[in-house]
Amino acid sequence: MLVDDRPAYPMSPWFRLQFSGRFDQDRLTAALATAIELNPLLNARVRGDVAGRTSGLDWVAADAPPPRISWEPESAPIDFPKGVHIDLNAEPGVRLWVREGPKSTRLLLQVHHACSDGLGVLQFLETWLTLYRDANSPDAIAALRRNFESGALAQRDQSKLGLAQQVLRVYKDIIRVARFYRHRPTPLAAGHRQAPPTPTDYLGFQSHGFSEIETDQIRIVSKQAGVCLNSLLLKAVFLALDQWNREQPPGGRPIRIALPVTVRDSSPRMKPAFNGVSMAFIDREPAQLGDLPNLLAGIENEIEEAKKLRRALALPPILRLLGKFRRGLASQLGAERCLASAIFSNVGTLFAGSPLLDKNHRLVVGAHVLEDFEGAPPLRPETRAGFAAFCYANRLKLTLNCDPHTMTAADCARILLLCVEQVHALRAAPRTATLPEPGEHCVAT
**Which residues does 299 contact at the CB level (< 8 Å), separation at least 6?**
227, 231, 234, 235, 238, 282
CA distances 89 to 41, 163, 282, 426, Å, are: 13, 35, 34, 47
Report the predicted TM-score, pTM, of the whole model to 2 decimal places: 0.88
> Can you tell me the mean pLDDT for 413-436?
80
Query: Among 4-8, 42-46, 77-81, 361-365, whose mean pLDDT is lowest?
Result: 4-8
Q: Is the pLDDT of residue 172 over 70?
A: no
Q: Residue 270: which pLDDT band, with cuts at 50, 70 and 90?
A: confident
Q: Cα–Cα distance between 39 and 144 in angstroms, integer?
A: 13
pLDDT exceeds 60 at position 322: no
Q: Are 28 and 69 a contacting pair, CB within 8 Å?
A: yes
The pLDDT, as a whole number, for residue 67 is 93
- Spans of all domains in the chain: 14-155, 167-362+377-427
pLDDT score recorded for residue 177:
56
Query: Which of 184 and 130 is assigned the larger pLDDT?
Result: 130
Alpha-carbon gap, residue 96 to 109, rounded angstroms = 5
pLDDT score for 292:
85
Rounded Cα distance, 299 and 232, in Å: 9
Under the banding of pLDDT at 50, 70 and 90, the label for residue 251 is confident
Q: Is the pLDDT of residue 171 over 90?
A: no
Residue 70 corresponds to which amino acid?
Answer: S
What is the Cα–Cα distance from 113 to 85, expressed in whole angstroms?
12
Confidence band for 179, pLDDT divided at 50, 70 and 90: low
Region of poorest pLDDT, from 20-34, 44-58, 229-243, 340-354: 44-58
For residue 373, list its beta bridge partners. 17
**pLDDT at res. 65:** 86
CB 329 within 8 A of CB 49: no
- Pairwise CA distance, residues 15 & 396, whole Å: 17
Q: Average pLDDT in the 331-350 region?
A: 83
Q: Quote the CATH superfamily of domain 14-155.
A: Chloramphenicol acetyltransferase-like domain (3.30.559.10)
Q: Which of 86, 91, 131, 132 is nearest to 110 (CA)?
A: 86
167-362+377-427 in CATH: which number? 3.30.559.30
Segment 167-184 shows an average pLDDT of 58
pLDDT tens-digit map of 71-126 = 999 999 999 989 999 999 889 999 999 999 999 999 999 999 999 999 999 999 99
User: Whole-number mean pLDDT of the chain?
Assistant: 85
What pLDDT band is residue 35 in, cutting at 50, 70 and 90?
very high
- Give the model's confidence band at 440: pLDDT under 50 very low, under 70 low, under 90 confident, else very high: very low
> Looking at residue 438, what is its pLDDT?
42
Q: Range with the lowest mean pLDDT among 111-120, 170-179, 236-245, 357-366?
A: 170-179
- Per-residue pLDDT tens for 371-392? 999 999 999 999 999 999 999 9
pLDDT of residue 250: 84
pLDDT at 312: 44
Check: CB of residue 353 under 8 Å from CB of residue 316: no
Q: Are 363 and 370 in contact (CB under 8 A)?
A: yes
The whole-number pLDDT of residue 33 equals 96
Same fold, 14-155 and 167-362+377-427: yes
Q: What is the pLDDT of residue 327?
A: 54
Q: Taking CA 222 as the corner, what is the angle to CA 218 and CA 228, rounded to the nearest 5 degrees?
A: 120
Strand ranges across the sheet with 255-262? 206-209, 395-402, 385-392, 342-349, 255-262, 277-284
End-to-end CA separation in angstroms for the chain: 19
For the ranges 22-31, 59-68, 273-282, 316-325, the lowest mean pLDDT is seen at 316-325
Report percent pLDDT > 90 for the chain: 64
Across 185-202, average pLDDT: 93
